[in-house]
Chains A and B, each alone.
Chain A
Amino acid sequence: MADDLKIPLLEELEKGPWPSFVSDIKSMADKSEVAADLLRQLEKSYEDKRGYWKHGGLVGVLGYGGGVIGRYSALPEEFPGVSHFHTVRVNQPSGWVYTSKALNEIMDIWDEHGSGLTNMHGSTGDMVLLGTNTDELEPTFQALTQKGWDLGGSGSDMRTPSCCIGPARCEWACYDTMDLCYNLTQEYQDELHRPMFNYKFKIKMSGCPNDCVASQARSDMAIIGIWKDEIQIDKDAYAAYMKDGFNIKDLVVDMCPTGCITADENDIEIDDSNCVKCMHCIARLPKALAPGKERGATISLGAKAPIVEGALIAQNIIPFMEMEKPYEELHDLIERIWEFWDDHGKARERIGEFIERVSLATFLENTGLDPLPQMVQEPRDNPYIFYEEYYAEEDEEAASDE
């Protein structure tokens, strides 16, 4: 550790059973003046109860409007190691699957061009390389692209799409999340690197309703695997669970949110027409139950964290869409949504806020979607959708009655 590193307030964060970022950064402070000054500046922030970072809004690499988050120290003479402390977002592989060789490549690049500090991963999903100066941004970008990496999104663009590991390791995946994630990343390179929207647009893909990437709460567009037909039942496997003393009533039947399961030690029946695909029974009886065979995805829009306006959870827009290559139906939907939002959205207005402002009816009408019962978020909240043509029909009926 650097000899003159006095950070008693930060060291409080090393106490307790949890891992500490302070310990991690301290372990680099001997060999990196960036790491040492990062801790010193943060200690001063803790002492003075204020931040000492300045926002750098113009730093980046040529041609890209995203992928670099600029930061300067407000006290560069005192902490020269972090005078510039820009963050580089690197587009992660689908499902966050790396080889150790790939990780070593990244770290060699970052040791050469940056602080060596990383955050794996940012909340959007990117690998986050923390701390470099402006002159090192282009060389970092060149080194990354030469090894086949690319920057991720930031600013008012499509953020780096992310997905669960899907069918690579999970039998519940109802579509190939990793393939779709790669497809959208490639299809929308301009939208990813060249900010053109009112604000950010995040797409996250989960292979089943367990939603391991929390897309329903954390993305503007959540694409979640689902099935249309009946839950598959393996009666022999079910019998084996019962033989082992599995408490089917307490652990499954009584936990079903719609009460659509009838089961005892001899048999199980599911009323699939009332199943809401919560996955609880499948997760409890993984050897006996499995998602149906007619698989695709359901799409919800509008989740966001509480920036600008309050937090929102996503609202269902497409109950079921087949999710097969070349994904033309999905591309068409995404582009219609973007076009309407882009034309009529306000600055820094996320898609969920936009739909709330213009109304669901207006949104559906202008994106060519039909209203469906599945779009009702809460009973007695938004159950009625009126269209001009409905009024026109009423007027015509009234006229014909006269």
Chain B
Amino acid sequence: MAADVSIDQLADDMYEIVADSAGKKKLKAGDLTKAMTAKYGDAITRKDCKAAIKQLIDSGRCVYGYFGGSSIELPRTEGAANE
């Protein structure tokens, strides 16, 4: 951890961005990292962002999706899924 921004805080911030973008734009891991870097600057590192994404995924709050490229999304039942 580079400074006073915790991994939990970063994960919460990222979750908020993913939730706001749901249904509008698919976000890559890099998009979330860039957003956090824009918000916190040198107070965080790429490693912190990786840890925050890991927490989001491992907790089940977010999932990875793949539609051409990989994205980070809210868990949901996709339209293509059969019963």
Contacts and interface: CB of A to CB of B under 8 A. Distances in A.
A342 B30 contact: yes
A134 B77 CA distance: 12
Contact of A57 (B53, B60, B80): B80
Contacts, number: 87
Given A65-B57, A190-B50, A76 B82 contact: yes
A124 interface: no
B29 A194 contact: yes
B42 interface: no
Contact of B64 (A195, A198, A343): A195
A73 interface: yes
B81 A56 contact: yes
A63 B78 CA distance: 18
B77 to A, nearest CB: 8
A55 interface: yes
A157 interface: yes
Given A55-B80, A84-B82, A194-B57, A64 B30 contact: no
A197 B65 contact: no
Interface in A308-352: 339, 342-343, 347-348
Which of B28, B46, B60, B66 is the most central at the interface, judged by chain A CB atoms within 10 Å of its CB?
Answer: B66
A58 B78 contact: yes
Nearest to A346: B69
B70 to A, nearest CB: 3
Give the interface SS of chain A, mostly helix, strand, loop or mixed.
loop
A243 to B, nearest CB: 61
Nearest to A156: B70
Contacts of B30: 196-198, 342-343
Contacts of B76: 58
Given A58-B63, A63-B57, A196-B53, 17 more contacts: A56-B81, A57-B67, A57-B78, A57-B80, A58-B66, A59-B81, A62-B60, A66-B70, A76-B83, A134-B81, A157-B70, A194-B50, A194-B64, A196-B50, A339-B46, A343-B30, A347-B69
Interface of B: 28-30, 46, 50, 53-54, 57-58, 60, 63-70, 73, 75-76, 78, 80-83
20 contacts: A56-B78, A56-B80, A57-B65, A57-B80, A58-B63, A58-B65, A58-B73, A65-B57, A72-B81, A72-B82, A76-B82, A134-B81, A155-B64, A156-B66, A194-B54, A195-B28, A195-B29, A195-B64, A198-B28, A199-B69
Interface of A: 54-60, 62-66, 70, 72-73, 76, 83-84, 134, 154-157, 190, 194-199, 339, 342-343, 347-348
